[in-house]
Amino acid sequence: MKIAVVGTGYVGLVTGVCLADMGNDVVCMDLDASKIDALRAGSVPIYEPGIETVIERNVRDGRLAFTADLANAVQGAAICFIAVGTPKNEDGAADVRHVLACADSIARSIDGPCTVVVKSTVPVGTCDLIEEAMGRVVAERGLRHRVDVVSNPEFLKEGSAVEDFMRPDRVVVGITNETAGEVMRDLYSPFTRNGHPVIVTDRRSSEMIKYASNAMLATRISFMNDLAALCEAAGVDIEDVRKGVGTDRRIGMPFLYAGVGYGGSCFPKDVRALVKAMHQHGGDAAILEAVERVNERQKLWPVSVLARHWQDRFDGKRVAVWGLAFKPNTDDMREAPSLSVIEALRTRGAAVAAHDPVAVPNARRLLGDRGVEYVKHPYDALKDADALVLLTEWGSYRTPDFARMRSLMRTPLVLDGRNQYNPEAVRKAGFEYFGVGRGTQDLQ
């Protein structure tokens, strides 16, 4: 079966590659010809563990191809995925212009029956708009082919996206007829042999499930961060609280971690879009607005701790930063806490030496070089540092040589923004240690 995937960003590329790996003939299309040329040459535009091997295997075996020609991609395709971006507008709502333009182009190019699958994250009702718009174009062309529009949101985690697609917790499909439902069940049958469900619902519910899922996860993070502030004031260890709460089967451990907040391409954008939707429908979005406020405050937790510790005297201070990407195993810098932290530090007069295993090129494009030195080795950032701030919990930072760290730093001070270290062990090594909600700071 030929499948077309329009958009070779994070979601589109992973989708196309994994579908090809299950024996489908997949053409991934993007308007960016330079990106297509790079993919054809074996250069992958995203950092995702394992994806290069899967691409190489399927290109070699003739199941995966790349093109900048949309008509070439969709003609003869039984299924066309839309996986283009939906950036936020100034008012926080999702911008679906690229999605609608993509649907229009597909409608003008298809030459047979087609199931159009919307993988992009879109507001409730967008698939209805796509169906109406595509129906008009198909009618104008005088085509009598069946065209179904399906909602199929993605639930991929950066850093484990290939594994998530291959072994999903669930697949959500929004349809208006059972024919489209059978097409989607057949498509995903190789991925759901583990017994995890294909949840078939109406399209609007499917669109809402995506937003609700990300908003719930963001809420868990901000709840723990708000609770961490109380723990800091009350002399309570948030890690013990997390274990005591998370082992309740009704709650569970995932995303129940205090830290320096969430970032990335999904949670911030989707929370804002859901807030906007609630306002449009007469709601007050009180919970999600609080989630956003807590997250923005939490990103600056390291700066607030240093301000108290140094009595707001940042001039002449040198701060080492470990971790720039918003999470480990990705080079994604979108809305990463490091952006807020580094900007606040250099605005206050501190110099920054930063390390990240893969995200430095993206960080440099966003932050520039003013007041920031990017180093190749994590220990290089520690030379003459007055503090170390851990912002991303990369595995390579997990068990450092504390004796070596202490010999390099001017002041042995560690701010653990991901609660990665054992406070007692770090203090025993001769450091002053601050963790998020570890009962050592005053309530903000």
Active-site annotation, residues? 266
Per-residue burial over 111-150, b = 16 or more CB atoms within 10 Å of its CB, e = otherwise:
eeebbbbbbbbbbbebbebbbebbeebbeeeeeeeebbbb
- Strands of 362-436 (E only): list them: 372-374, 387-390, 413-416, 432-435
Residue 244: Cβ-neighbour burial (10 angstroms; 0-12, 13-18, 19+): exposed
Phi and psi, residue 64, nearest 5°: -135, 130
Which H helix or E strand runs over 264?
none
Decide: 356 and 394 in contact? Cβ < 8 Å: yes
Close Cβ partners of 83 (under 8 Å, ≥ 6 residues apart): 5, 6, 7, 9, 11, 12, 15, 119, 120, 154
Q: How far is CA 222 from CA 57, 261, 295, 390, 439, in A?
A: 41, 7, 6, 19, 18
Residues 6+ apart with CB under 8 A from 422: none
DSSP 246-259: HTSTTT-STT---S
DSSP summary character for residue 88: B
Which SS3 state, helix, strand or coil, does residue 122 take? Answer: coil
Asked whether the beta carbons of 391 and 260 are under 8 A apart, the reply is yes
Distance between CA atoms of residues 223 and 235, nearest Å: 18
Q: What is the DSSP letter of 147?
A: E
Q: How far apart are CA 324 and CA 436, in angstroms?
A: 18
Rounded to whole angstroms, the Cα distance separating 61 from 50 reads 17
- Phi and psi angles of residue 387, each rounded to the nearest 5 degrees, phi first: -165, 150
